[in-house]
Every structure is written in C-alpha cells, then in structure tokens.
C-alpha cells in the first residue's frame, strides 16, 4: 500500500502530512487529531481503511507537535484561527476540492469551528469522533465522572485545581487513573502507533486548552458551539464510547442540534474507539463514506 509523506510550508514553518492509499475517484478522508498537540500517530490504525475502501486517507500533524514545526517560543500561534488556516492551507496544497472530514476530540472541535464559522465547500460528510460542542458542558460532565474516583483521588484533583499545582504526585496519579479509565488504558498493550512516544505538543495543549482535560483554562475556554451546530448541513456521523470522556450526554447534545446526523455508541470503549474496536470502526467508516461520496 502506497504511503506518501511530505511537508507543507505554513506561516514560515512546516506542516507534516501522511497520505495512505492509491489515488482514486473517491473523495479522500482527512483526519484531524486531538490534543491540541496529540499528533497523527494513533490514526495509523485506520490505514487498512484505505486498502479496504480504495480511497486515500490523509492525516497530518498540526503546528506544535509531531513531525511538524513546534514553535513553542511563540505560544501565541496556538489558537483555533491558526489551526483552521493550516487546514485550509493543506486543502489548497493537496488540491482537496472534495473530501470527507473526521475530527477526534480536539480535532472534532476544530472540524466544528471550521464548518460553523468558515462554511467550507466540498465537504462530503463529517465524522465527529469523541468530541464536544461546549467546553462548559465538558467541564461539568468530567467533574461528574471524577466523583466516581476513590475519595483520596478526588481530593488530590480538587487540591490541584484550587492551588494550580498540577505537579503534585498525588494529583498526577489521580489524573493518570482517570485518563486510563476514560481516554485509553495505557497499562495495556496497543498497536505501535498508539504506544509510540509523541514529539512535543505540551505547550500547544496547555496554551489552548489547559493542564488537563477537565480544567479548560486556555484560549479555548470559551469554546461554545452547541447553538451553532444547526449551521452544519452535511451528513454527520457522531461516534463515542460508553466509557468515553465524551459522555453519552455530550454526544447526544451534538446529535440533537445537527440535522441528518447519526450517532454510534461503542460499548466498552473510551476516548479512542477506533483503536479499541478498530475492525468495527473501519467497517462503520467504510459504509458511511461509501454512502456519502456523492
């Protein structure tokens, strides 16, 4: 299977991209990774979709992480406006006139911002994977789930939020436990691309979002798009897991606002159902994309 890697000039820096599969008449699927700052790595589990469905899959590292430039001495660059410009630049660079768009976690937020505020043409369908339309609802739901942790872990997280000391060992252990429960359990063995050490991304994450998933203090703290979701007119597939950071309430809130949307809930999965149930996820994507190529 053909894999093409390249770098695109962007704002005086470089953006890494990876294209999987043979050129075909089918519109490609572009993947927006999470974080901000998580990198494309985990999306490599979807390489088999390119082979099975005969379409190109395009993933890239957003500015600030992975194989792209990491201008951490200029954190003011790490904004939603920069990352939308980067997506638009990638579309122009690769001549992506028609495409499907999948965003996971922060990548889904970026997709929602792009669709609601920029009204792009040529998007055949949208896949919102374990994402959110409201920072305040996300905050509320994750703090609800924190109450299921052991009482001493709840206390450690509460202390860290009160003191802004997110380096305390008790907090770090509690946060790791929470993320293993609801993101992905990193005590287990996953494919190499998931276990691979990420390059950079911390400054981008902390600048745009905050110190952890449930304390949105960065420049995305006022991300509130639930009331804008009705602007999304393309067919939209929402996916999430029963144990996800994206709770069923968060996912249902998005589905209620997007006309002609469907929601698939993956049993027993956390924040990366495409990693935990890859075969099932690939089959779902293949069916969905084939239905919405025209």
Distance, in Å, from the CA atom of 292 to the CA atom of 294, rounded to the nearest integer, reads: 5
pLDDT at residue 2 is higher than 90: yes
Query: Phi-psi region for residue 21, left (φ > 0), alpha (ψ -120 to 50) or beta?
Result: left
The per-residue pLDDT for 206 is 98
Please state the rounded mean pLDDT for residues 53-80: 97
pLDDT at residue 97 is higher than 90: yes
Record the pTM. 0.97
pLDDT at residue 61 is higher than 90: yes
* Architecture (CATH level 2) of domain 3-134+191-291: 3-Layer(aba) Sandwich (3.40)
Whether 33 is catalytic: no
Whether 72 is catalytic: no
pLDDT band at 195 (very low <50, low <70, confident <90, very high): very high
pLDDT digits (tens, 9 = 90+) for 266-293: 999 999 999 999 999 999 999 999 999 9
Q: Is 34 helix (H, G, I), strand (E, B) or coil?
A: coil
The per-residue pLDDT for 153 is 98
The per-residue pLDDT for 26 is 96
Q: Is 31 helix (H, G, I), strand (E, B) or coil?
A: strand
Whether 69 is catalytic: no
Please state the rounded mean pLDDT for residues 141-146: 98
pLDDT at residue 294 is higher than 90: no
The per-residue pLDDT for 1 is 83
Among residues 38, 39, 105, 129, which one is catalytic?
Answer: 105
Q: Are 120 and 114 in contact (CB under 8 A)?
A: yes
pLDDT digits (tens, 9 = 90+) for 210-257: 999 999 999 999 999 999 999 999 999 999 999 999 999 999 999 999
Q: Are 71 and 64 in contact (CB under 8 A)?
A: yes
Among residues 38, 39, 271, 273, which one is catalytic?
Answer: 271
Q: How far is CA 18 from CA 3, 117, 193, 209, in A?
A: 7, 27, 14, 26
Among residues 33, 47, 244, 273, which one is catalytic?
Answer: 244
pLDDT digits (tens, 9 = 90+) for 11-58: 999 999 999 999 999 999 999 999 999 999 999 999 999 999 999 999
pLDDT at residue 260 is higher than 90: no
């Amino acid at each position: 299977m053909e894999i093409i890697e390249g770098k695109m000039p962007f704002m005086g820096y470089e953006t890494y991209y990876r294209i999987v599969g043979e050129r075909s008449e089918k519109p490609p699927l572009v993947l927006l990774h999470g974080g901000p700052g998580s990198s494309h790595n985990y999306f490599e589990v979807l390489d088999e979709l390119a082979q099975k469905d005969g379409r190109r899959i395009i993933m890239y590292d957003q500015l600030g992480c992975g194989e792209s430039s990491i201008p951490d001495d200029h954190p003011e660059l790490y904004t939603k406006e920069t990352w939308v410009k980067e997506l638009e630049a990638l579309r122009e660079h690769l001549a992506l006139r028609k495409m499907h768009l999948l965003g996971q976690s922060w990548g889904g937020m970026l997709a929602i911002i792009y669709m609601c505020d920029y009204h792009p043409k040529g998007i055949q369908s949208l896949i919102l994977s374990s994402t959110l339309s409201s920072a305040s609802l996300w905050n509320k739901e994750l703090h609800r789930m924190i109450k299921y942790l052991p009482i001493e872990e709840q206390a450690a997280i509460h202390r860290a939020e009160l003191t802004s000391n997110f380096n305390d060992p008790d907090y770090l252990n509690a946060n790791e436990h929470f993320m293993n429960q609801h993101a992905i359990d990193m005590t287990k063995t996953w494919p190499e691309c998931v276990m691979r050490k990420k390059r950079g991304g911390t400054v981008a994450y902390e600048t745009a979002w905050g110190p952890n998933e449930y304390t949105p203090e960065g420049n995305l703290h006022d991300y509130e798009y639930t009331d804008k979701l009705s602007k999304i007119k393309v067919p939209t597939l929402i996916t999430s897991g029963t144990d996800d950071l994206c709770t069923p309430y968060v996912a249902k809130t998005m589905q209620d606002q997007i006309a002609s949307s469907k929601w698939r809930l993956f049993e027993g999965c956390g924040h990366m159902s495409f990693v935990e149930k890859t075969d099932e996820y690939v089959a779902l994507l293949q069916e969905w994309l084939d239905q919405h190529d025209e």
